[in-house]
Chains A and B, each alone.
Chain A
Amino acid sequence: MYLSTITISLRPSILDVQGKAVELGIHTLGLSAVSNVRIGKSIHMNVEASSEEEAKRITEEACKKLLANTVMEDFSFTVKKI
């Protein structure tokens, strides 16, 4: 069994309006050092696979076909044997 940890974020070229709003909130706290806030998703899932390569292949297929919309989002992931 493998644990896949997936990060999905808006592509850099796309304005992240949620990130902008949150950045404003952080600045209101007085933390003016913070910039470029981007909001994404973190998805964790167990994958039954016989090898790390197979776990990666299954995770990538799930990302491409459902978890991320590559018109607007990028994804990256790690897999770890559990």
Chain B
Amino acid sequence: MSISKLKFGVVVFPGSNCDHDAYHATKHVLHQDAEFLWHKDTDLKDSDVIILPGGFSYGDYLRTGAIARFSPIMNEVIQFANNGGVVIGICNGFQVLCESGLLPGVLMRNASLLFACKHLSIRVEHNDSRYTSKIKAGDVLNIPIAHGDGNYFAEHDIIKSLEDQQQILFRYCDTEGKISSESNPNGSVNNIAGIMNGNGNVMGMMPHPERACESELGSSDGKKIFESIINSFILQTV
């Protein structure tokens, strides 16, 4: 059976700068509906999926994502997520999700202290998630990163739980899929590049799939993540 298009709601914080990339990828490349949601709004406008985009919300003041977490729309986003709504955070959006408590852990300053801006490889750890269902476990994606604070950290017991519950979706790797400290761009624990919550409806990742949806941009691997999300709604409907 066919379903109508998904609606992606892209939150715009002051300082977001990947909001248009996310809008373009979902609306023009994946041919879904998309709408911007201003951070002062309190209406998610019937979005099926909320995207917290990359950027430097509130100038990264105090800590990355710390102040954005208190934007009026975040009350709605948190409620939406707690009711099972799908929320994804990319880069700064991942930082906001951690600050808001929707995902565990924190993104600290890159171990190198350098802002890392480049294409790199991430390995898909498994495809038993709505973000990776259209990808094979172990596949290597070419996706860009652009961050100064992407060093994922959580207490040992939380990391163990993420590992045990298969909540780690993506790890930094080399082009062959090998995980090593050389392939870790920021010092993240266990090369973690992206995780989901226990219920699987909230996902955060530092790499930018929305910037890798067209081969003209150097890679279209990011599209597979959005296609997985879209597919998960189709499966739900069938």
By a beta-carbon cutoff of 8 Å, the part of chain A in contact with chain B is 14-15, 17-18, 21, 66-67, 69, 71-72
B106 & A69 in contact (Cβ 8 Å cutoff)? yes
Given contacts A17-B109, A18-B109, contact A71 B63 (CB under 8 A): no
- B150 to chain A: closest CB distance in Å? 13
Chain A residues, CB < 8 A from B108: 14, 72
A18 & B113 in contact (Cβ 8 Å cutoff)? yes
A72 & B106 in contact (Cβ 8 Å cutoff)? yes
Given contacts A17-B113, A18-B113, A72-B153, contact A66 B106 (CB under 8 A): no
B109 & A69 in contact (Cβ 8 Å cutoff)? no
B111 & A17 in contact (Cβ 8 Å cutoff)? yes
Q: Is B15 part of the binding interface, using a Cβ–Cβ cutoff of 8 Å? A: no
- A21 to chain B: closest CB distance in Å? 6
Please tell me which one of the listed residues B105, B110, B187 contacts residue A71 in the complex, with CB atoms under 8 A apart: B105
Q: Is B120 part of the binding interface, using a Cβ–Cβ cutoff of 8 Å? A: no
List 13 A-B residue pairs with CB atoms under 8 Å apart, sorted by A's residue number.
Answer: A14-B153, A15-B111, A17-B110, A17-B113, A17-B187, A21-B113, A66-B66, A66-B67, A69-B99, A69-B106, A71-B105, A71-B155, A72-B106
Q: Is B3 part of the binding interface, using a Cβ–Cβ cutoff of 8 Å? A: no
